[in-house]
Chains A and B, each alone.
Chain A
Amino acid sequence: MVNGHGAAGRGGAVQGRGGAVRGSWGWPVRAELRKLLSLPTAWVGLVLGLVAAPLLVFVSAGGTRKAIEEGFHADPSDAAFQPLGIGLLGALILGVVVLSSEYTSTGEDAPGARQLQATLAAMPRRGRLLVAKGVALSLLVAAQGAITSVVTLTLSRMVLGDLVPAASPGRAAAVVLYWVLLGLLAYALTLIFRSGVVTLTVLIVNSSVVSVSYLLTKVTPLAAYLPDIVGAHMFLHQVGDVHIAPVTAGVVMTAWVAALLILGGWMFRRREP
């Protein structure tokens, strides 16, 4: 035998370095965090997510102030939270690249080779791998969302002053949850489509250019419960014409994301890489 490593492998955890829990779940999560943080595209998502919303506070300050003064906002507290609906672009990018990077060809000399082979060599249990990716993604997006919310809401108070009421911590937490769920939604869709381009196109076009989901709400109020728009009700009081309670919105969005993750995971496990 060589160095007795084979025997150590069967034990599940390295000698003196934590128990079975750390071995089974901690290592894959750490590996996935490392993977994300050493990927340039992921940093685009991280930075974009951190700066977009605060920047928007400044850019839109004039318009927002005018809108509030002229009574355009039925609920002025929304004004401080609205920019946070844009910064989620970063969460979407992270949710996509956590998986799409696995499918990128590793080089011209081996067109069929992808990182996924190395990933499955290191972490062959697919279910565990997908959970580790989801956890790593959620941790990053939550950190990003928490920092961005605090910065954005503080800036809004500074720029708009007493025009907006002080933000409640509960609503700020809802923003973080919303970001995490959207990141997971992007991850689930990438699992289903196996392509980052398709997922990003669908999500970005739908959230910034023309929102098909929003247009559908003009046809039926039920469309307000679609996964990409229902979540905003968690922290905004006025979204479209339909009123949905924050908790209801959270539950509906979580259910959507969970269902899509289960479908995507099932498809991932069936496929041969």
Chain B
Amino acid sequence: MITIEGVSRVRGRARILHEVSFEARAGRVTGFLGPNGAGKTSTLRVLLGLDRAQGGRALIDGRRYVDLDRPLTVAGALLDGSGAHRARTARAHLRWMAASNGLPKRRVDEVLELVGLAGEAGKRAGRYSLGMSRRLGLAAALLGDPPVLILDEPVNGLDPAGIRWMRAFLRDSAAEGRTVLLSSHLMGELAETADDVVIIDHGVVKADGTLAEVVGSHATLEDAFLARTAGEGASW
């Protein structure tokens, strides 16, 4: 369970997040939707303790991420890129991550197998394609078999087969009882995977509810989204 409570963040003079509040519940996929620059990544970075908020609280199972003793066993995060130094092999990257949280070495091979990288585990991360980098990032997120998954634009850079795989993976994870929070600017994608939807624009939450509630009387999630974010063309 993820709890975001009144999180505000200012950078210089710019207001990045303003009193952002929502919850992502266990056993459900929560889609965090917004145009580029709306504050999705910022919210996730505050949740992971990478960026500081000037106000509010962002908690995972009631605790701040930075206070977790073995964070990889509580929450797995997929942010931009693979997270691996480009000169390191994928296996070496996952091995140090496993060591940092006292996880057994066999978990490394298990997650490599799970994301379909077992055959390329000895390759340097810098030589990976975009899709492979995402898979490696996901493998790292899954190392500790965490009950909470936090994913920033997880389908970015994936080919159609990869997107389908990711969709099934996220649904399965929620079905197993995990909390899945993913951000996206792709409405069609979210409409297919999310149970709950949070719409954010200019750092302010515009809608929050189940997919059906957020779509409401609109024909599609896209229509609902555009109606709530000041219409088309606003973000580009």
Contacts and interface: CB of A to CB of B under 8 A. Distances in A.
Contact of A5 (B48, B65, B88, B144): B144
A120 B100 contact: no
B147 A5 contact: yes
Contacts of A31: 96-97, 99-100
A106 B85 CA distance: 5
A113 B70 contact: no
Interface stretch (A35-43, A57-65, A75-83, A141-149): A35-43
B102 interface: yes
A115 B70 contact: no
B81 A107 contact: yes
Q: Chain B's interface: helix, strand, loop or mixed, by majority?
A: loop
Given A27-B101, A109-B133, A9 B69 contact: yes
A160 B178 CA distance: 70
Interface in B15-35: 26
Contact of A124 (B66, B83, B88, B144): B66
Contact of A38 (B52, B71, B83, B89): B89
Contacts of B89: 38
A265 to B, nearest CB: 16
Contacts of B100: 27-28, 30-31, 122-123
Contacts of A39: 85, 87-88
Interface stretch (B110-118, B123-131, B200-208, B209-217): B123-131
Nearest to A126: B66
A197 to B, nearest CB: 16
B58 interface: no
Contacts of B97: 31, 118, 122
B176 A104 contact: no
Contact of B125 (A5, A23, A106): A106
Contacts of B48: 120-121, 124
Interface string A33-77: 011001111000000000000000000000000000000000000
B148 to A, nearest CB: 8
Contacts of A273: 50
Interface stretch (A10-18, A187-195, A222-230): A10-18
Given A2-B176, A109-B133, A38 B95 contact: yes
Interface stretch (B72-80, B161-169, B228-236): B72-80
Interface in A96-114: 101, 104-107, 109-110, 112-114
Contact of A9 (B73, B93, B96, B157): B73
A21 interface: no
Contact of B102 (A14, A120, A272): A14
A109 B157 contact: yes
Given A31-B97, A31-B99, A5 B146 contact: yes
Contacts of B86: 104-107
A113 B80 contact: yes
Contacts of B87: 39-41
A9 B84 contact: no
Interface of A: 1-3, 5-6, 8-14, 17, 22-24, 27-28, 30-32, 34-35, 38-41, 101, 104-107, 109-110, 112-115, 117-118, 120-125, 272-273
Interface of B: 26, 48-52, 61, 65-66, 68-74, 77, 79-89, 92-93, 95-97, 99-103, 125-126, 128, 130, 133, 140, 144-148, 157, 176-178
